[in-house]
Amino acid sequence: MRVFVTGASGHIGSAVVPELIKAGHEVTGLARSGASATAVQALGAEVHRGDLGDPDGLGAAVAGHDAVIHLAFDHATMMAGDFPAAAATDLAVVRALGGALAGTGKTLIGIGLTPTGDPERDAVINANPRSAVSREIVAIGDRGVRTILVAVPPVTHSDQDRTGFIPTLIGIARDAGESGYVDQGANHWPAVHTLDLAVLFRLALEQAPAGSQVFGAAEEGIPVREIAEAIAHHLGLPAVSVPAGQAAAHFRGFPFITVDITMPTAPARELLGWEPTHPGLIADLGEGHYFGR
């Protein structure tokens, strides 16, 4: 297939692109800068220069492609504290992509979660501004597009992870002189190795039925206390409990420190035959690459 990938030079995209090319697909990668274009070319893909601020341009760019894998997101705006604005930009892009693909039977793969039917769980999902994007992708599926949603774990780890949950926690621990978790640290984060996730995106492209929800977790949910203790061990620092009332200050406003998420690991294996082969999170922390930066 000819596949257009947004976020092609990013953490996940830089693994997805070579995985697709290795499997025989032709890939065009979106690049917003000269440096990104060079990185995309080095991965073996064609380059389309553009950015999320031009949704109509992106809609036009996907013409002639069989599928779009949408991985880009305005993380800078989100981390600056304006998550709704970043999500609004993403929604505009997805609408443009959907408009370009409508009625073609072609494929649009995005990141997100479909409604579960559980009111309590759906309330949590809908509290995330990005949930509007997931709902839009589901709606696009009713317009003659093969849509697939991939739920990406909040911890996607590897030596390519520069700005995710784990580098953030490590940076906070270094600054504070201790590796913290909130209260008992009993909340969970699901996890997957970047390279295993790349394989899953390829399998979803090649095999997943239209309308599929694909869960990308290799590990269902790791207690945050266990993660903090592993970080403490590798930094030679104490692991400490931070009272909930002090969490915002201690964790520098990191909004996800108390998030409790689990994600099923069996469905993707059963649907797509996916078998993760790379180290789990705690073992990957043991490789040391997170701590030599």
Q: Dump pLDDT digits (tens) for 22-71.
A: 999 999 999 999 999 999 999 999 999 999 999 999 999 999 999 999 99
**pTM to 2 decimal places:** 0.95
Give the chain's mean pLDDT.
94
pLDDT at 174: 97
Rg from Cα positions in the chain: 19
Q: Is 226 exposed, middle or buried (0-12, 13-18, 19+ CB in 10 A)?
A: middle
Residue 125 clears pLDDT 90, i.e. is over it: no
Alpha carbons within 13 A on the beta-carbon side of 90: 29
**Span 4-14, mean pLDDT?**
97
